[in-house]
Amino acid sequence: MSSITASHLRRFTAMEHLSNALFVLMHLSVLFVFVVPVSWPVIALALGGYLLRMWAITAGYHRYFAHRSYRTSRAFQLVLAVLGATCMQNGPIWWASVHRRHHKFSDGPGDLHSPITHGFWYAHAGWIFDRTVPPSRDDSNVKDLLRYPELRWIDRHDWVFLTVYAVACFAIGGVPGLVWGFVVSTLAVQHATMLINSLAHLWGSRRYATADRSRNNPLLAVLTLGEGWHNNHHHYMSSARQGFFWWEIDVTYYVLRALARLGLIWAVREPPAAIVDGNREAPTLTSARAARP
């Protein structure tokens, strides 16, 4: 049970009920992998969809919309928003608002994603179904995004892009394409993202003495194209580069650098040398049990 309390249970909106039902239905639909035929083209569709949309979350929803770690045109901003909306993680304004609140209250009672405060399973996905939690989007912390009508529209109608992506997977690969290219790929992106909220605050090493319990985890960095360098990120959240050192693989950052060369993005923020070298903590590898204060 969550440690978040409220004087009364709030009512879920119709869209929240629908979203929660879809979340459950998608997980049940994974069972179809045991009955539909699988082929290399279908696996390629699933893998390609995972890589593209994982990048859309890391480079778009996270590093651009939530942290504004680089600048781009309004047209490419729209591309990032549309790609992110295919991931079943709500719209870009909602995502940025929740994530900014995560940083403001990181590992405190106000942080829905904290496994330190609420436990692993609640932080990973349980908060989605908690009726004591107020509506997640806080317009006061995303005023910079609300001024774009196209982003507000995507935030209200993100299901349109999710549906289009599902139909496209079906058109390309039939039922196997729908199961592997849409269901499996979408859930893989979703749970990889959630692992940064949950596992990356429990398992890994700490280079920097941040106020929270964020950790660097190389395995998660590979799975999420660079997001696993989570202690680095909490140390200096406005950086487009989360793998601060050459051996810290950060695929998202490499692609952003390529896009900067092409002129699609600019003003890419890097961590200053003083930030990289400062506020060091003795490197330790901790388990989930040892991570709790």
Q: Is 19 left (phi over 0), alpha (psi -120 to 50) or beta?
A: alpha
Tens digits of per-residue pLDDT, 147-196?
999 999 999 999 999 999 999 999 999 999 999 999 999 999 999 999 99
pLDDT tens digits for range 131-159: 666 556 788 899 999 999 999 999 999 99
The residue type at 126? G
Token pair 């309390």 is found at 5
From first to last of its 293 residues, the chain has per-residue pLDDT tens of 334 444 444 555 666 667 778 888 999 999 999 999 999 999 999 999 999 999 999 999 999 999 999 999 999 999 999 999 999 999 999 999 999 999 999 998 888 888 988 889 888 888 887 766 655 678 889 999 999 999 999 999 999 999 999 999 999 999 999 999 999 999 999 999 999 999 999 999 999 999 999 999 999 999 999 999 999 999 999 999 999 999 999 999 999 999 999 999 999 999 999 999 877 775 544 443 333 33
Beta bridge partners of 204: 286
Q: Where are the domains of the chain?
A: 14-30+41-147+157-282
